Amino acid sequence: MPIAVTMPRLSDTMEAGTIVRWNVKEGDEVTSGQVVADIETDKATMEMPVFDDGRIAKLLVPAGQSVKVGTHIAVIAEEGEDLAAAAGGGGAAAPKAAPAAKPTASAPAAAAPVADDDETISVGGARIRVSPVARRMAEEAGIPLASLKGSGPGGRIIKRDVQTAMENAGSRPAAAAPQAAAPSANALAVPVSPAPRASGGLVVAGLESERVAVSGMRQTIARRLVESKTTIPHYQVSMRFEMDRLVALREQLNRELADTGIKLSVNDFIVRGCALAMARHPYVNASWAGDAIALHRQVNVGVAVALDESKGGGLVVAVIRDADRKSLRAISAETKALSEKARTRGLSAEDMADSTFTVSNLGMFGVEHFTAIINPPNSAILACGGAIKQPVVRNDELTIGFEMTATLSSDHRVIDGAMAARWLQELKGLLENPATLLV
């Protein structure tokens, strides 16, 4: 009989997931343990395996769509089972927006058929049937579902009904269309009186805007940044580093390593230097634990990676584990691999777990100085500007050299000012004498 595949709970806080991509198509054979989809959760993009052998009879949810945990997203036909029959019956017909509860033995996934593009929701005590696309469009446009009359089968509200309401709202004066106060995803702009949104934002009269949907991951990033900034007592300490020797050593090593395909970046030296300095100053490699300070035995340096705006933007932190024990070459290779994975397939929860410190570097963009927000449960983050070629004083003489400004943001509950200064001095000694990073 058909086997229903449901949206799994891939993290302890996950309530819904977005299918980033399907790695199979209808008709493909699959085996237990095979990864069939990449799922974006509230924390990371993770791989989703199946646990049965068979063939994909139907993919119920397209790539790019978010559905609740427990929702039926695909159907597998068992060996010898007719694909068309499997796709048309059993779990194949489950609604995309099914309740979040996972199927149990007493409530098997092979439930009674219901149209796979149908949701039934309760509004003011009334039951309204609506397609997932129509519901999402109505929410983004600020149009109450109760105000719509469905033209679909059985009175179901469909995409066309919402589009008609949006067009009608756009043709009315602002005073006659208060429900259209929030701009829709297609840049529908309706002048309204300034009024706070539920998110704390403000709509300004006469301001045309385009609403861009925020992914679950971006929402989590936003929430964690606000929590960090409002609950951790941040302070910043900056220091300038002479980078002449490091830049020269990097160029020399890259020439010698050219045939191997390895190309070291300035950030690789910084990560290595931070790791060694943390090993010598354990309070920078620590976390606030309420009634104690947790001094970590491992030195795991997180590297902030910017995601492309076309994929929702934001930052994720890829973790280089035991960075104090790894060579520059190993750090470089691992950083490049994780950065590429973050920008294409997405990092797994494991790739982002257990960092004890974070490096954020905007030097490649020409930024000279900035401050960064601590990534909990870390107690510090280093914001690095570029190694800028500029007039400098060396041995009491004016010359041209490379200098970099780095700013350490620290949790004052764990790291006081003197500790931060001593750690930066340690890092300064390592980066200004880069041969020490090779041993």
* Over residues 236-262, mean pLDDT: 95
What is the pLDDT at residue 202? 52
* Over residues 384-397, mean pLDDT: 94
Count CB neighbours of 42 within 10 A: 21
Weakest mean pLDDT among 127-131, 246-250, 367-371, 383-387: 127-131
Please report, as a single letter, which amino acid is at residue 257.
L
CB burial of 61-100 (b: ≥16 within 10 Å; e: otherwise) equals: beeebbbbbbbbbbbbbeeebebeebbebbbbbbbbbbeb
Token pair for 55:
């063939």
* Selected residue with higher pLDDT from 208 and 115: 208
The band of 410, judged by pLDDT with boundaries at 50, 70 and 90, is: very high
Weakest mean pLDDT among 107-116, 401-410, 420-429: 107-116
* Over residues 340-369, mean pLDDT: 90
What is the pLDDT at residue 224? 87
SS3 317: strand
Token pair for 133:
């696309």
Highest average pLDDT, of 28-32, 62-66, 419-423, comes from 419-423
pLDDT at 173 over 50: no
Query: For the segment 269-287, what is each residue's pLDDT rounded down to a tens digit?
Result: 999 999 999 999 999 999 9
* Over residues 122-130, mean pLDDT: 63
pLDDT at 172 over 90: no
* Over residues 274-303, mean pLDDT: 96
Query: For the segment 33-46, what is each residue's pLDDT rounded down to a tens digit?
Result: 899 998 888 767 78
Share of the chain above pLDDT 70, in %: 81
pLDDT at 236 over 80: yes
* Selected residue with higher pLDDT from 371 and 191: 371
Nearest to 231, CA basis, from 352, 371, 353, 377: 377
What is the pLDDT at residue 434? 96
Instruction: Tell me the domains of the chain and their CATH numbers.
Output: 3-93 (2.40.50.100), 119-213 (4.10.320.10), 218-438 (3.30.559.10)
Give the mean pLDDT of the chain.
81
Weakest mean pLDDT among 64-68, 121-125, 340-344: 121-125
* Over residues 246-265, mean pLDDT: 94
What is the pLDDT at residue 94? 39
By annotation, the residues acting in catalysis are 412
How far is the C-alpha of 409 from the C-alpha of 415, rounded, in Å? 10
What is the pLDDT at residue 90? 46
Question: What global pTM score does this model have?
Answer: 0.62
pLDDT at 221 over 90: no
What is the pLDDT at residue 64? 83
Q: Mapped to the 3 state alphabet, what secondary structure does 233-283 carry? A: CEEEEEEEEECHHHHHHHHHHHHHCHHHCCCCCHHHHHHHHHHHHHHHCHH
Q: Mapped to the 3 state alphabet, what secondary structure does 322-338 carry? A: CHHHCCHHHHHHHHHHH
Weakest mean pLDDT among 114-118, 280-284, 383-387: 114-118
What is the pLDDT at residue 280? 96
* Selected residue with higher pLDDT from 125 and 353: 353
Query: For the segment 306-354, what is each residue's pLDDT rounded down to a tens digit?
Result: 887 766 677 889 999 999 999 999 999 999 999 999 888 788 888 988 9
The band of 161, judged by pLDDT with boundaries at 50, 70 and 90, is: confident
**DSSP annotation string for 288-313:** E-SSSEEE-SS--EEEEEEPPGGGT-
In the block, residue with structure tokens 């086997």: 3
Please, what is the end-to-end C-alpha distance for the chain in angstroms? 62
Weakest mean pLDDT among 207-211, 371-375, 387-391, 414-418: 207-211
* Selected residue with higher pLDDT from 418 and 219: 418
The band of 369, judged by pLDDT with boundaries at 50, 70 and 90, is: very high
Nearest to 387, CA basis, from 268, 285, 305: 268
How far, CA to CA in Å, does 265 sit from each of 26, 249, 339?
Answer: 44, 11, 13
What is the pLDDT at residue 101? 33
